[in-house]
Amino acid sequence: MRITDFPKDIIKKNVQETVKGIEHIIKTCGPRESGCEGCFKSQEEIVKFLGDSVDETHYEGYTVAPKAFFSFTKVVSIAVMAAGVVTFALFFANVISYLLLNIIFGAVVGVGLFITVMEFLLYKQFCDPFCKKVEGHNLVATRKATGETKRRIIISGHCDAVYEWRHMYYFGGKGQAAILASVIAGAIASFVVAVIQIILLSKSVDNGFADFVRGLSYVLFPFTTIAMIGLFTFVDYKNLVPGANDNLTGTFAAACAVKMLHEADIRFENTEVVCMVTDGEEAGLRGCKKFAKDHYDEYVNGGVETAVLCVDTLTDLEFLNVYNRDMTGTVRHNPKFSALVMDSAKDADHNSLKYANVYFGSSDASAFTQAGIPATCLAAMDPTPADYYHNRRDNYDRLVPEAIETGYEIVLSTIFNFDKKGLS
């Protein structure tokens, strides 16, 4: 079957049920912190929603530290602010030398930059050993093939919600960008200046350039110390956003993919379709990383061609794209599968999609790609970012049914094409 032959009324019906379902989960399941009871309740609601659309459902548990991913914002900011205040106080009190001031402050800033890169840029589980852990779950629901299973396509969305980003809510995208830019630029510049100062002082260089760098440090070090207030206040651990668009739309895209096939009485002979609802994406892709690691051998060496389409936010239709680059541009998703999704969008008469890059942050697709499992991401969100991104505005009153419907058509079209062609 082609997507153009699929009953439109089934898609529209599922879009309406999605809007109602998202509102229901937000109102009844409570806050959905990664690994918390609210996430598990929302997954249970998805199982009810699926009904007899699938042949088998199961949960896979894993350990997650919910606050670990963003803990670097507190650790780094406190360390740098403390270093700035203490070293300058000791320097002006003639307790330490100017060289030692540069060594201490430069080292603290350098370590802070390293932790930030490890956690937020590369999504390494750097801070997890030091944070409280809980039990999270990934939901897997499978609609099996009628004959021998030769292909498997997984449609995935995450159900957990993020801690509110204060600056995004109060100052918007441009304000947040300005605050973060001042933090990052100040830290990098301070580290560079500190290193130059250490070299000049150790060699007893005394010239106009040395004086310039010294004067610059008197401005940069205090600026960076103060700018760290912006990093310290960045995440509000006390408030979880509703997460209607990011990413209950993706969660329901995964569920509705198999549900719509069931309602159209479509079951493939050699392709099984899997609805996967992950937990822990907002905690640094923790749930998906564990799942991909556990299933690598099955998905890569098990004899069943497998691909994963992660759907993450279906809201801003003008920005609906195939994200073939991810994790702040450091990960390149499977080119064949990305092309198949792009072609599937065209088959559904959606010709405006482009290949795009997740320049800031990451999606669960990165965890699969890094593990060596073919994956890509479909998303529709204003990258500036959108006004609802990671703050309390991301509620059910901000849903865009038209964008959800378009996303569902592309997902279904991808499933049909994968069944016919696979990745070859």
Give the position of tokens 């901000």.
Answer: 398
Please give the structure tokens belonging to residue 357.
Answer: 């890059």
Instruction: Answer yes or no: are the C-beta atoms of 59 and 138 closer than 8 Å.
Output: yes
Supply the pLDDT for residue 382. Answer: 95
CA distance 242 to 391: 8
Please give the structure tokens belonging to residue 16.
Answer: 């309406």
Give the angle subtended at the CA of 228 by the CAs of 32 and 108, to the nearest 5°: 105
Read out DSSP for 369-414? HHHT--EEEEEE--TTT-TTTTSTT-SGGG--HHHHHHHHHHHHHH
What are the b/e assignments for 102-132, b being 16+ CB within 10 Å?
bbbbbebbbbbbebbeebbeebebbbbeeee
CA distance 290 to 310: 16
Beta bridge partners of 309: 155, 376
CA distance 164 to 233: 11
CA 300 from chain centre, in angstroms, equals 24
Supply the pLDDT for residue 7. Answer: 97
Supply the pLDDT for residue 126. Answer: 86
Angle between the N-to-C axes of helices 401-421 and 335-347, in degrees from 0 to 180, rounded to the nearest 10: 120
Homologous superfamily in CATH for domain 3-66+134-162+241-421: Zn peptidases (3.40.630.10)
Dihedral angle sign, alpha carbons of residues 343, 347, 353, 357: negative
Supply the pLDDT for residue 359. Answer: 86
Please give the structure tokens belonging to residue 43.
Answer: 């997954």
Q: Give me the helices (H) in 206-352, please.
A: 208-232, 249-263, 286-301, 335-347
Supply the pLDDT for residue 1. Answer: 85
Provide CB contacts within 8 A for 300, sequence distance 6+. 306, 372, 373
**Would you write out the chain's pLDDT as a tens digit for each of its 424 residues?**
899 999 999 999 999 999 999 999 999 999 999 999 999 999 999 999 999 999 999 999 999 999 999 999 999 999 999 999 999 999 999 999 999 999 999 999 999 999 999 998 889 988 899 999 999 999 999 999 999 999 999 999 999 999 999 999 999 999 999 999 999 999 999 999 999 999 999 999 889 999 999 999 999 999 999 999 999 999 999 999 999 999 999 999 999 999 999 999 999 999 999 999 999 999 999 999 999 999 999 999 999 999 999 999 999 999 999 999 999 999 999 999 999 999 999 999 999 999 999 988 999 999 999 999 999 999 999 998 999 999 999 999 999 999 999 999 999 999 999 999 999 8
Please give the structure tokens belonging to residue 394.
Answer: 């991301």
Read out DSSP for 78-123? HHHHHHHHHHHHHHHTTSS-HHHHHHHHHHHHHHHHHHHIIIIIT-
Q: What is the pLDDT of residues 359-384, one digit of tens each?
A: 889 999 999 999 999 999 999 999 98
Provide CB contacts within 8 A for 380, sequence distance 6+. 313, 314, 315, 316, 317, 319, 320, 321, 403, 406, 407
Dihedral angle sign, alpha carbons of residues 164, 165, 171, 174: negative
